[in-house]
Structure 1
C-alpha cells in the first residue's frame, strides 16, 4: 500500500516540477504534500527510490555583473525550497553564477521558480519605467525591489511560523548540508550593502505588489509548502 502512495506522490511531484507556475502544477504539489502529511512520509522517503534525485547543483543564473536583487531573490527562494544558495565567481570567464545546491528535484523546482521570478520582476520594472522621471528612477527601482523582496520574505516567514510541519519541510536536509560541506567546504556569509535614498512610495508599492503577485500561489502559501 505504501509503495502505491509513494508512487502517486512521485507522479504528482513530477507534474508539479514540469509546471511550477501553472495552476495544475501547483495543485499537484499541494496534493502531494497533503498525502505526505497524511501518511507521515518525508521527502527523503518519497525520493529514496528515484534514481534521478541525486544531490548536486543547478545554475539559477549567471551574469557579468550580477544585480543585487537577483542574488537576494535567490537567497529567499533557496531557503524555502530546501536548497543551499551559493554565489560563485568564475574569474577566468568573468562571470558570477547563482547556484542552488540540494536534491535534484528541489534544485530543478527552485531554479524554475527563480527564473520565472526574475522575468516577472523585469516585466514589472519595464511597466514602471515610463511612470517615473529619469532623475528619480535609480532610487525608485532599488526601493521598489527592496520592498518587493522584503514582502516576499515576510510571506514565507509568516507561513513558517504558522505551521511547524511547514517549517520542518522547508529545512535544508542534513545530508545536503553534509554533501555541500564535503564538496565546497565552509561557505562565507555575504551581506549586501547598498547606499541609496529610499523612495518610500516605491518601497510601499513593491511591498504591496509582493502580497498580490500570483508568482507564488496564495493557495500554496496558505496551505503547506511552495
Structure 2
C-alpha cells in the first residue's frame, strides 16, 4: 500500500508525480511478477491540504494541483490495473496546521488499513501465480554455499554431556530417538564427553530441556 505524501503534492506538479508513480509500478512489476494482480498494489489518494508552498504558492493553485493529482491517479489505476483505496479523509479532518490530520481523527488511517485488509482476506483467493525458480546452476551454487556454512553455524549451538562407558553407540541413538531430538549426527565420544551440535537455538533449547546433566550416567543406563 502506497501513499504520496502531502508535501510532494504541495511542491510538485501532479503530472510529474503521476509519471513517477507510473515508472515505479512498472519497475516493481518487472521484478515481482505477482504484483500484476490488481489488489497487489494499492495507492491512497492524497489527503486535503490548505497550506500553499512554492511553486504552488496560491490557495487556488494548491487545491487545483491536489484535485488534478487525485483525478490522474484514478485514471492511472485503470490504465495500469491497480487499486485505489480511499481513506475518506475530508476537509474537516485536517488539523490547525492545515496539512496533517487532527489528532482526533488519527485513527482514520489505521482503521481504513485494517478494514481494507480484512476485506481482502475475506473476499480474495490467494494468488496462483508461480514465481520462477532458480536455475539448476544457481541452485547448485546455493546448496554448495549452504553446506559450507552449515558446520560453522552448528558450532554456535552445542551442548555437552558426560557419559559413562556403559553407553554404546546404539543405546545413545535409541535414547536420543526416544527424546525426539533433532540432530544431524551423533558425535563421537571424547574423554567421556558427548558434544551435540544443533542447527539453531530452538533445537538447542529443546535438547537442554530433554537431556539432564546425568542423562548418560551409570544410573540412567537401562
Interval of TM-score (by shorter of Structure 1 and Structure 2)? under 0.3
Q: Give the TM-score, by structure 1 length.
A: 0.22
Q: Normalized per residue, which structure has more helix?
A: 1
Higher relative contact order (CA 8 A, sep 6+): 1
Provide TM-score, normalisation by structure 2.
Answer: 0.22
Q: Which has the larger radius of gyration?
A: 2
